[in-house]
């Protein structure tokens, strides 16, 4: 039986946490996750809590893995779905691809976004800048925009924001009147779905918890 669980906790609202996610967290000895994720399980965590940050990520994961090697059960909380730009990849880099890991899928912000906008996202171009911005990813974004696909984009809230993306797409030849949707704080009380044009987005700021959807004309 797996001693390490990677649990998808949904896009933010407690209502989007699945029963199997709560059941998994309730039975483990150690729960590792960002404060926002840990807060979703205030009444479920029975054992030790380890707050995960960008600075202590490696140290926290290694600590939890060592505990698992000693026989304790560990759950890593992954915002959204672990397999979609979530914790599965970085955790497997540490424990190894062949480690006995149980993955509990969750509802991603992409799914919530597609539902709000009634988009069949199996035909959309999905691009994430959450793990960094480089020339290859920008090239993929530019190429996808020229294919006429609906683009669902996870911006980098610091260095490649929706306004940066809008300016980049315009520079690559996408029309300034192209329709853009920004979905902010999905499933939370302050959720907002904003519709505008690519040109207007260049001068606007949005929450760090946002998804950008571009629908070519």
Residue 3 tokens, joined? 């001693």
Q: Which tokens in the block code for residue 53?
A: 């940050």
Residues 186-205 have pLDDT tens digits of: 999 999 999 999 999 999 99
pLDDT band at 1 (very low <50, low <70, confident <90, very high): low
DSSP states of the chain: --SEEEEE-BSS-GGGS-HHHHHHHHH-SEEEE-HHHHGGGTTT--SEEEE--TTTHHHHHHHHHHHHHTT--EEEEESB-TTTTSSHHHHHHHH-TTS-EEEE----HHHHHHHHHT--GGGSEEEE-TT---HHHHHHHHHHHHTT--EEEE-BTTTB-HHHHHHHHHHTT--TT-EEEEEESTTSTT-EEEEEEHHHHTT----SSEEEEEE--
Phi, psi of 213 (to 5 degrees): -120, 125
Asked whether residue 165 carries a pLDDT value surpassing 80, the answer given is: yes
Q: Which domains does the chain have, with CATH numbers?
A: 4-107 (3.40.1010.10), 110-215 (3.30.950.10)
Q: Phi first, then psi: what are they for 29, rounded to 5°?
A: -90, -30
pLDDT in tens, 6-24: 999 999 999 999 999 999 9
Question: Could you tell me the pTM of the whole model?
Answer: 0.89
């Amino acid at each position: 039986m797996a001693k390490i669980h990677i649990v998808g906790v949904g896009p933010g609202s407690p209502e989007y946490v699945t029963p199997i996610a709560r059941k998994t967290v309730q039975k483990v000895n150690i729960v590792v996750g960002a404060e926002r994720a840990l807060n979703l399980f205030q009444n479920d965590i029975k054992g030790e809590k380890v707050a995960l940050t960008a600075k202590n990520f490696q140290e926290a994961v290694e600590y939890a893995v060592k505990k698992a090697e000693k026989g304790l059960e560990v759950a890593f909380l992954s915002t959204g779905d672990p397999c979609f730009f979530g914790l599965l990849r970085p955790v497997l880099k540490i424990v190894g691809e062949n480690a006995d890991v149980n993955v509990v899928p969750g509802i991603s912000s992409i799914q919530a976004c597609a539902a709000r906008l009634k988009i069949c996202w199996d035909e959309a171009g999905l691009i994430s800048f959450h793990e960094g911005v480089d020339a290859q990813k920008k090239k993929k974004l530019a190429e996808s925009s020229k294919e006429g696909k609906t683009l669902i984009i996870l911006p980098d809230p610091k260095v490649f924001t929706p306004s940066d993306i809008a300016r980049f797409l315009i520079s690559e030849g996408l029309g300034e009147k192209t329709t853009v949707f920004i979905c902010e704080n999905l499933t939370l009380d302050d959720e907002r779905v904003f519709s505008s044009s690519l040109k207007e987005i260049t001068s606007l700021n949005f929450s760090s918890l946002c998804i950008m959807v571009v629908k070519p004309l």
